[in-house]
């Protein structure tokens, strides 16, 4: 009796242990959610090492699980994993882990995970100025069409930065313009500010001057003030004012990672000044140009003006013996191809907006199946009527014979 009682007691203990294990088991989605909350709490408390440890453990757990119900929360885990390491200055150490996770997401057809990891990898590369590697990643890794709007806006912003550094200003401006449209209009002030800063510089590098209203938006006017001053210097061709703004706001431009692009604007400032001088004077000494543009050395003026003439920036010629710039008569703008090119640019822009709007249209899933079923039923009814008609005609022919 004693062994039987002991066995029964042991069986009851096993049952109780199994029940306790079932009660304490937590589904993976809940575990990932708790890890995300804990990581954000540690980041807010400036405990970056602990946040990196927790996010790394959650990252490993998500990678070891292949569940479609975990995709949305797994994307949050990926984001805070990268965020914790970025704030801790360890962003380069997780690059290989992000690449492996992106490959796994592609193999598992995890669309949301692909988008988030692709943006994290692009941010990782751009933080370390690895623009060539970022461009290769964009070329080889496709961007899913079903991506959420916020992730698409981030992707377009990163792509715009890459194209701007690679001197592809038209494509960069197009990407940044789409990113500004995709971004929330009443929230995400930081993202809209970053897009506005980079868009302003790229537009200036294209030879265009951004509108004052774009730089004086209600929430962005004060942070964009140095960029407004840069735009004013480029518009009037004031090289001294441009250098002054560069010196006073150098720390801001370095923090925004736009300093390298702004340095390229020096040539645009000189060209704008030469264009204004060419319109105002029919004949002007090169020394006067040196004084007006505040160029560093007098010896460089002749080379700069000669290059501007060769590039077609100004329609003039240089009298090297006398050291004088002689402007030619300005032709009628409407006799050139400029109006046609401007009209073509606006037409292309409208067509691209229309195509994007058509692609963005959403329809209820399987909405077309009802119409297909109705058409199939009508087709079968028509075939049945034709068969009956053919059979009746055949019977009439038999009766006549």
**Are the C-beta atoms of residues 76 and 99 closer than 8 Å to each other?**
no
Q: What DSSP element (H or E) covers 284?
A: strand 283-285
**In which band, very low, low, confident or very high, does the pLDDT at 276 lie, cut at 50, 70 and 90?**
confident
Distance of CA 258 to the CA centre of its chain: 16
% of the chain exceeding 70 in pLDDT: 86
DSSP letter at 220 equals: T
DSSP letter at 105 equals: H
**Are the C-beta atoms of residues 305 and 244 closer than 8 Å to each other?**
no
Please, what's the b/e burial string for 207-242 (b: 16 or more CB within 10 A of its CB; e: otherwise)?
A: eeebeeebbeeeebeebbebbbbbbbbbeebbbebb
Q: Checking DSSP bridges between strand 316-319 and strand 283-285, what pairing results, if any?
A: unpaired
Can you tell me the distance from the alpha carbon of 194 to that of 192, in angstroms, rounded to the nearest whole number?
Answer: 5
**Which tokens go with 368?**
């077309």
pTM: 0.69
Longest CA–CA span in the chain (Å) reads 126
Alpha-carbon torsion (67, 71, 72, 78), positive or negative:
positive
Can you tell me the distance from the alpha carbon of 329 to that of 340, in angstroms, rounded to the nearest whole number?
Answer: 22
Give me the mean pLDDT over the 55-67 stretch. Answer: 81
> Which tens digits make up the pLDDT trace of 144-191?
777 788 888 888 888 888 888 888 888 888 888 888 888 887 777 888
Residue 293 has pLDDT above 80, yes or no: no
**In which band, very low, low, confident or very high, does the pLDDT at 3 lie, cut at 50, 70 and 90?**
low
Give me the mean pLDDT over the 22-50 stretch. Answer: 78
Angle between helices 111-127 and 149-165 (to 10 degrees): 30
Annotate 2-39 with DSSP letters as a single string.
Answer: HHHHHHHHHHHHHHHHHHHHHHH---HHHHHHHHHHHH
């Amino acid at each position: 009796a004693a062994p039987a009682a002991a066995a029964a007691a042991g069986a009851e203990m096993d049952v109780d242990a199994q029940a306790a294990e079932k009660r304490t088991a937590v589904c993976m989605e809940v575990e990932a959610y708790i890890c995300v909350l804990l990581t954000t709490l540690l980041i807010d408390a400036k405990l970056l090492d602990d946040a990196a440890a927790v996010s790394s453990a959650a990252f490993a757990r998500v990678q070891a699980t292949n569940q479609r119900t975990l995709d949305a929360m797994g994307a949050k885990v990926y984001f805070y994993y990268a965020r914790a390491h970025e704030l801790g200055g360890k962003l380069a150490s997780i690059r290989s882990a992000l690449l492996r996770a992106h490959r796994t997401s592609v193999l598992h057809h995890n669309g949301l995970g692909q988008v988030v990891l692709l943006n994290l990898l692009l941010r990782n590369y751009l933080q370390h100025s690895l623009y060539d590697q970022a461009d290769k990643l964009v070329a080889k890794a496709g961007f899913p069409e079903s991506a959420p709007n916020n992730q698409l806006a981030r992707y377009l912003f990163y792509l715009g930065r890459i194209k701007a550094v690679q001197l592809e200003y038209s494509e960069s401006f197009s990407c940044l313009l789409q990113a500004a449209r995709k971004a929330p209009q009443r929230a995400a002030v930081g993202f809209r500010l970053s897009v506005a800063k980079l868009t302003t510089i790229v537009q200036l590098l294209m030879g265009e001057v951004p509108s004052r209203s774009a730089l004086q938006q209600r929430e962005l006017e004060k942070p964009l003030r140095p960029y407004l001053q840069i735009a004013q210097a480029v518009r009037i061709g004031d090289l001294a004012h441009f250098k002054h703004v560069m010196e006073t706001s150098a720390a801001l431009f370095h923090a925004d990672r736009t300093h390298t692009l702004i340095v390229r604007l020096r040539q645009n400032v000189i060209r704008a000044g030469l264009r204004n001088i060419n319109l105002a004077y029919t004949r002007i000494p090169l020394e006067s140009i040196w004084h007006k543009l505040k160029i560093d050395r007098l010896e460089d003026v002749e080379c700069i003006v000669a290059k501007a003439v060769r590039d077609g920036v100004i329609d003039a010629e240089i009298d090297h013996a006398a050291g004088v710039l002689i402007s030619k008569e300005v032709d009628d703008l409407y006799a050139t191809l400029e109006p046609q090119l401007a009209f073509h640019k606006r037409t292309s822009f409208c067509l691209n907006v229309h195509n994007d709007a058509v692609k963005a249209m959403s329809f209820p899933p399987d909405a077309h199946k009802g119409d297909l079923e109705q058409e199939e039923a009508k087709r079968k009814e028509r075939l049945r009527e034709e068969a009956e008609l053919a059979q009746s005609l055949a019977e009439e022919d038999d009766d006549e014979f």
